Structure 1
Amino acid sequence: MVMAKPPSPAGRWVTCPDLGGHVRQYPAAEVKFRPAAYGIWWHEGRVLLSRSRFTHLWDFPGGGVEPFEWMPDGLQREFQEETGALVTVGELIHTAESFIAFFGRPFHSLRFYYLVTGMPQEWTRAVDELEDLKWWDQAAIPWQAMNPEDREALAQSAKRLKIF
């Protein structure tokens, strides 16, 4: 993964990759702040992963939090929008920061990863955002098809819960 560079000392440009890994510079004034919350749900030794329609990588349900929302509230809303599931938000276990461009617009991304719990159910997958939604046994987790920040968050969650 290409790491983005923070703004230059003059604060005029930000270098960041887009979802396809193409790197370019953007005027710092165009960069929007994007806090996001993601839920890591372990149940009976399996973890719920979602496959992004945009990156085709496996990650976690969740997404951008609105300016008026607390992180846990935004996570509950995003999780329900993407999966149909109502979850209880637990411990914050990992954070990640990067600069990335979505569809030609640059963002300063702060991601907060929480443990979540709920009742496993039939999913109502958000087809406009997700290609797939699946429970993975720990031995079959697609580590290589996840971005480094998500791999680290998943490892931290497993360590915290003493899963492996």
Structure 2
Amino acid sequence: MRAPKRMVACITVRGEPRQFPAEALRFRPAAYGIALRDGCVLVARSRFSGRWELPGGAVAPWETLEEGLRREYEEETGLQVSVRAFVGFDQGFVAFFQHAFNSLRFFYRVEAPDVPVRAQLDEVTEVRWVEVAALSDESMAPGHYAFVRRCLAPREERGR
């Protein structure tokens, strides 16, 4: 299938809109983990956007979503997590370092050990437990806050 001759609107890692030719886009599956404890969620502050984001990221072609999630989570936080439950997915057109992607993002509930975290300083500036009540759509990477809230919703509401 040939890409149409049109531009696609993407959001850069700094939150700026940018247009890319449709034929330049690539698929990018990514997996993110939601670790909750005592009303807090483990988040990492992006070095690129300054926003909080759920640990995780791109899944390599040879990895399952869960393998990629565990690898990315450990790289960013130093923690080896157990993947518990699929929460949901979304799609977004994003740009990283002059490359445009149709990003399919999969979110999972994870269990993190109760040990100190360490930030992967080339991608994030800090990793810490933050009260969910202190977070918002504006303070987090696009789409991430909705999935944190979904994990906290009563079971009946999550199925919708």
Please give the alpha-carbon distance, in whole angstroms, between the structure 1 residues aligned to 2:5 and 2:41. 41
Tell me the alpha carbon deviations over residues 86-144 of structure 1, each in whole angstroms, 9 at most, x when there is no partner: 10001111211011111111111011010000212112210001111111223333553
Q: 1:25 aligns with which of 19, 27, 30?
A: 19
Q: What is residue 85 of structure 1 aligned with on the other side?
A: 79
TM-score by length of 1: 0.85
Query: Does residue 111 of structure 1 match 2:98?
Result: no
Q: Structure 1 residues 143 and 33 mapped into 2: Cα distance closer, same or farther (>3 Å)?
A: closer
- Is the 1:58–1:142 contact (alpha carbons within 8 Å) kept by the matching residues of 2? no
Query: Does residue 15 of structure 1 match 2:9?
Result: yes
Q: What is residue 94 of structure 2 aligned with on the other side?
A: 100
**3-state SS, counterpart of residue 75 of structure 2:** helix
Please give the alpha-carbon distance, in whole angstroms, between the structure 1 residues aligned to 2:83 and 2:18. 36
Tell me the alpha carbon deviations over residues 19-75 of structure 1, each in whole angstroms, 9 at most, x when there is no partner: 233333222221111000000000122211111111110111100000011001100
What is the count of residue pairs matched by the alignment? Answer: 154
Amino acid of the structure 2 residue aligned with 1:77: R
Please give the alpha-carbon distance, in whole angstroms, between the structure 2 residues aligned to 1:135 and 1:161. 24
- Is the 2:79–2:117 contact (alpha carbons within 8 Å) kept by the matching residues of 1? yes
Q: What is residue 44 of structure 2 aligned with on the other side?
A: 50
Instruction: Give, in angstroms, the shift of residue 12 of structure 1.
Output: 4.0
Q: Structure 1 residues 127 and 48 mapped into 2: Cα distance closer, same or farther (>3 Å)?
A: same
Q: What is residue 41 of structure 1 aligned with on the other side?
A: 35
Instruction: Give, in angstroms, the shift of residue 146 of structure 1.
Output: 1.3
- RMSD of aligned Cα (Å): 2.0
Query: Does residue 152 of structure 1 match 2:146?
Result: yes
**3-state SS, counterpart of residue 74 of structure 1:** helix
**3-state SS, counterpart of residue 143 of structure 2:** helix
**3-state SS, counterpart of residue 55 of structure 1:** coil
Please give the alpha-carbon distance, in whole angstroms, between the structure 2 residues aligned to 1:108 and 1:153. 19
The runs of at least 4 aligned residues of structure 1 exceeding 4 Å deviation read none
Please give the alpha-carbon distance, in whole angstroms, between the structure 1 residues aligned to 2:121 and 2:46. 10
Q: Structure 1 residues 152 and 142 mapped into 2: Cα distance closer, same or farther (>3 Å)?
A: closer
- Is the 1:89–1:115 contact (alpha carbons within 8 Å) kept by the matching residues of 2? yes
